[in-house]
Amino acid sequence: MTEQSPFANDRDQSLGVELRAALDTADTDAFIGRLKTAVANAGAETSWDVLAAWAPRGLVAAVAAAGLIWLIDLPSAPQAPTALMASAPIQIEVAPSLPEAVVITVAVMEGR
Amino acid sequence: MPSVLQTGVEVVRTPQRPPQDERTSQVEDSELARLAATGDGDAFGILVERYGAPARRVARAILGMDEDADDAVQDGFIAAWRGIARYDPTRPFRPWLTRIVANAALDLGRKRKVRHTVAIPEHAASGTIRPDRATDHSLFRERLRLALEELPERQRIAVALFDAEGYSHAEVAEVLKVPEGTVRSYVFHARRALRRALGAFKEDAP
């Protein structure tokens, strides 16, 4: 017996026959019958079945998301709507005119 | 090319399953898959008849001679039936199906941590007593099953698909999602391990 090269493309026919025989049993036909029945009972899955399977989870997720959004939004919700008040123009208080002459004279005479 | 099994044991050919009805055997897999995708259960039934037995052997190569292997085949075929619309008819059907079944078997193996063990008959394990020819072959096959179970998982799958089921290296690579060179390596090492494990039969043979 010589070693086969790992690069060989040939199939080992004898090994194949023996492997098939080793892995087969006499009840193959009965197994195929059971398999066909199981597949027939399982039925094909349509896209609606997939959606239906997801629906309860999707519904729960949607409710949870809505609740989360409501909670996040809660602090701002009770505030009463307020009118936008126009801010008063800032005015710098500056005397519109110079003090009168008598006020200046009295101040000088009194040494203030 | 010398065989791994040139061990002196006469190879007994097992009877093949009777050929399928001519009408169904001429229909291409891709056409049956296309019909199945439209909800034609009979078309998928033909595919079950065509590939049920090979799929079972692949599952058994992964999980051992266990009922789990049958469960895995069933899970795989049901998954294939439900997902038949995702099959690309321009690609070969057989590797697509086998990958689904093999994945089902691997998943089941991981879930149940199945490690099938078979008690080795003393006379078969010792290699010192040569049984008569009537039992010789069943012992040889038992030894082969045990040797197969001892292989790493991917080597088992590769040698079963390549040598037993007639897949090409490329198809095995597609099933295992590894490069072709890796498949060649798996097959080479698997054969070498099997050759070693079955060596006692050569020594015993007349």
| Residue B13 belongs to a domain | no
| Residue B6 belongs to a domain | no
| B142 shares a domain with B109 | no
The partner residue sitting opposite A32, judged by closest CB among B13, B48, B185, is: B48
| Residue B36 belongs to a domain | yes
| B44 shares a domain with B23 | yes
Give the contacts of B95 (CB within 8 A, at least 6 positions apart). B167, B171, B174, B175
CATH number at residue B43: 1.10.1740.10
| Residue B11 belongs to a domain | no
| Structural contact between residues A24 and B57, judged by C-beta atoms closer than 8 angstroms | yes
pLDDT at B110 over 90: no
pLDDT at A1 over 50: no
The pLDDT of residue A10: 85
| B110 shares a domain with B23 | yes
Which chain B residue is nearest to residue A37, measuring alpha carbons? B45
Give the integer Cα–Cα distance in Å for B166 and B98: 13
A interface with B, Cβ–Cβ below 8 Å = 1-25, 28-29, 31-32, 34-36, 38-40, 42, 44-45
Please give the average per-residue pLDDT across B33-39, as a whole number: 91
Tell me whether residues A39 and B12 touch, CB distance under 8 A.
no
Q: How do residues B54-75 score in pLDDT, each as one tens digit?
A: 999 999 999 988 889 999 999 9
| Residue B111 belongs to a domain | yes
Report residue B18's pLDDT band, with 50, 70 and 90 as the boundaries.
very low
Q: Supply the ipTM of this predicted assembly.
A: 0.74
Give the integer Cα–Cα distance in Å for B110 and B119: 23
| Residue B5 belongs to a domain | no
Q: How do residues A84-112 score in pLDDT, each as one tens digit?
A: 555 555 555 555 677 777 777 777 777 76
Query: H helices of chain A, where?
Result: 13-23, 28-42, 47-73, 101-109
Q: The domain containing residue B205 runs over which residues?
A: 117-206
Contacts made by residues A38-43, CB under 8 angstroms, sequence distance 24+? A38/B74, A38/B77, A38/B78, A39/B41, A39/B44, A39/B45, A39/B48, A39/B74, A39/B77, A39/B78, A39/B81, A40/B41, A40/B45, A42/B78, A42/B81, A42/B82
**How many structural domains does chain B have?**
2
From B88, B115, B142, give the residue that closes a domain. Answer: B115
Residue to substitute from A19, A20, A32, A49, interface B, most B β-carbons within 10 A? A19
CATH number at residue B151: 1.10.10.10
Q: Which of B135, B79, B61 is nearest to A39 (CA)?
A: B79
CA angle B164, B166, B167 (to 5 degrees): 115
For residue A2, count other CB atoms closer than 10 A to its CB: 7
| B124 shares a domain with B110 | no
| Structural contact between residues B80 and B36, judged by C-beta atoms closer than 8 angstroms | no
| B181 shares a domain with B123 | yes
Report residue A27's pLDDT band, with 50, 70 and 90 as the boundaries.
very high
